[in-house]
Amino acid sequence: MTKVVYVTFFDQLTDKDIIMPFLAKTTKVIGFSSRVIIKYKYSSHKEAYVYEIKEEENLSYPYIDEIVDDFPLLEDKKEDIEKTADYYFCSVYKILERLLPFPKKEEEYRKVFYVPCSPTPLNKINKREYELLELIRREKKIPKDDFSKSATINSLLEKKYIKEIYDDEKAPSFSSFYASDNDNEKLVQEILDSEEKNILVETDNNLKEFRFAIDIAKETLKRNKSILIISPNISLANPFIEFLNMNFKDNLVILSSNKGKERIAALKRINNESNIVIYGDKYAVFAPIKDLGLILVFQEENYLYKDEKLFLNYKDIALKSNYKTVLFSKCPKLMTKAKQLKGYLKGYSFKAQNLVQYKLIQKEDDVIPVELLYRISECLKNKEQVLIFHNSRGTSPFYKCDKCSKFAICPSCGNTLTYYEDDNRLSCLSCGYHIEASEYYCSSCGGKEFSKSGIGTMGIQKYLEEKFKNAKISRLDADSYKDKDYHMDLSAFATGDNDIIVGTKELKENYLLPKVKLIIVMDIDWIFKSSSYNIEENYYEILNSLLNSARLDTSAYIITSDPTFLPLNIIAQQDYQKFYEYTLNKRRMIMAPPYYYLIALRLFARDKNFLLNVSDKVYSFFEGKFKGRKVFLIGPYNVKFFKKQRGYKSLIMIKYRKREDIEDVIKAFLNMRLPKGIGLEIDVDPEGE
């Protein structure tokens, strides 16, 4: 049977998403979201998605070459996807591309490790090869992702000193922590029986949150409904998966974007089964669950619910769905708390005790004050763990000229360069520029002599290794894990594999760290000088998450140059109500959320002057159109170089109170054709500008 099928796809020539009619002659069931292959202009293999099917007399359209799916996987979600696309000024095609990637875009992730060969061959090796071989022998196995394009590794493989193995690692067992909690029964019943659609549940530790999730899932299944549990990211190393398997086994579906084929298989199973528990990443909010009774959102406060490419907020999409949605949060986002206090969400709390407060300790000349060094040594004697959080990577975040005292600056984007001692290089953590330290000259005076200033996570690790020679110290930041799964490193630490861990924001993941006795937060004074309206909220949440992961008798410290500074004291006290009132007053004065909504328009181009010229014209367009409306424009500013686009990016911020004041203008702007060489991003409700 021949059908007229309208498909949506991306046209590189016009840089637009297009909807065009084609003919489909097939016995397969096709509908919205079906993946198809078409011919278009100069492309003989264009990937597209079915948008709709119409009855038409005209049969002169070209035929679809191939229909990938046996049936449409997301046909029931068409209305939700269209509403989302309209709100975020995004195309339906881009959302479908995110949810249902084509086979060639799917990443089948299977971990590869290097291990020493046995028996040891007799081939000659040089000093560098020997040192690397000894490292692998000590660690027993090392992830391949740690050595991108390493000539030394390739040489050891050729000489048969090491070999590659596959290892599908699982998380260490945490089963003893995860007994169900009978105290939750009354609250579970009340939430499921409530007529309120959206609910905020405030918790005070990860264990209580996990137990509550299991209890509410069990009760939902008893009522012959399915439940969707969403986490900001999914990893086999996450101990909660073991927890779910213990309780639901055959009724459990894992829906992750990390494994393409498995994701498609899971979506097919969801289409065909009922009364199941679906544990998925943020994209699972669009899963076609026919008997869905409840959506449960873990870590409401986590920034990862915001899509870094399409800028969709999947947590907000869940709240706008037609299903009852429960948000779990140990430290609610201010926007979420404000909605709850205004009655848009029903609020529950089962916090049993006050969190440990951070103590502020005066910064000294040494990296870590003497008092804290003593406490670290006491923890090591008692076989207890230490967690150290620091925002800066590398050996030193600053490289200062001895002649003029100016810091080394990236020639591409103007940010400071970070010094890495292991390979004596300077790197820009914003755009990726790097140079040998010995080849760098001061851009201000031409000086050749430099001093390291400040310390990063790599420098702290080295400092601790010198102070505590027998301790096993690990580091967790973007340099240490690169593309590998950092959840395994955090799981290993949680079960006691290391004594001390030093890291950045990755340490705040939703883990139980029952052996951590001491938390040290390095200098965060800089956040109070940041122009980002929500930087204080982000760091309050990070510090709160660290406390929630650790045991109740943990000691926690913040090293600061000014222990009397009031805003820092408010964050250290971990009194959410006090912090909420302080931050709300500050945002009222600067017209930031929740008092105003934001839209960020980002323009980018290869040529900086060209970008500035176009940005000024775009600003003038909006200034004229918004005249007489309660809309405020800021910019254009923040012209910076970005590695991914290999060009410059500028920002125009729109502040508004009512959606109808800006919607028609932005849609009119999107219908305009920008000059060639100009890219555009529209970020609705941005976080961190």
Q: What pLDDT sits at residue 54?
A: 87
pLDDT at 643 over 60: no
Q: 112-166 in CATH: which number?
A: 1.10.10
Give Cα separations from 151 to 99, 125, 132, 434, 481 (angstroms): 38, 13, 11, 20, 20
**Which homologous superfamily does the CATH classification assign to the domain defined by 175-349?**
P-loop containing nucleotide triphosphate hydrolases (3.40.50.300)
How large is the average pLDDT for residues 211-218? Answer: 91
Q: What pLDDT sits at residue 109?
A: 46
The architecture that CATH gives domain 597-684 is 2-Layer Sandwich (3.30)
Q: What pLDDT sits at residue 395?
A: 93
468-501 pLDDT, tens per residue?
A: 999 999 998 888 765 445 556 676 787 778 899 9
Q: What pLDDT sits at residue 510?
A: 56
Give pTM, 2 decimals.
0.81
Contacts within 8 Å (CB) and 24+ apart, 240-245: 240/210, 240/213, 240/279, 240/510, 241/171, 241/279, 242/170, 242/171, 242/173, 242/174, 242/175, 242/178, 243/174, 243/175, 243/178, 243/210, 243/214, 244/214, 244/277, 244/279
User: What are the residue ranges of CATH 1.10.10 in the chain?
Assistant: 112-166
Q: What pLDDT sits at residue 419?
A: 94
Instruction: Name the helix (H) or strand (E) containing 625.
Output: helix 608-625
The least confident of 67-76, 112-121, 224-233, 432-441 is 112-121
Q: What pLDDT sits at residue 169?
A: 46
How large is the average pLDDT for residues 327-352? Answer: 90
pLDDT at 99 over 60: yes
User: What are the residue ranges of CATH 3.40.1440.60 in the chain?
Assistant: 2-105
Q: What pLDDT sits at residue 26?
A: 85
The confidence band for 44, taking pLDDT boundaries of 50, 70 and 90, is confident
389-413 pLDDT, tens per residue?
A: 999 999 999 999 999 999 998 887 7
Work out the angle between the directed axes of helices 576-590 and 535-549 (0-180°, nearest 10): 160
pLDDT at 121 over 80: no
161-181 pLDDT, tens per residue?
A: 888 775 544 444 544 444 555
The overall average pLDDT reported for the chain is 87
Pairing of strands 252-255, 198-202: unpaired
Q: Which two tokens stand for residue 168?
A: 């599908």
**Which homologous superfamily does the CATH classification assign to the domain defined by 358-395+455-589?**
P-loop containing nucleotide triphosphate hydrolases (3.40.50.300)
pLDDT at 126 over 90: no
User: What are the residue ranges of CATH 3.40.50.300 in the chain?
Assistant: 175-349, 358-395+455-589
pLDDT at 245 over 70: yes
How large is the average pLDDT for residues 564-580? Answer: 93
Q: What pLDDT sits at residue 346?
A: 95
Contact (Cβ atoms closer than 8 angstroms) between residue 234 and residue 254: yes
Q: What pLDDT sits at residue 494?
A: 75
Return the CATH fold of 2-105.
Answer: GIY-YIG endonuclease (3.40.1440)
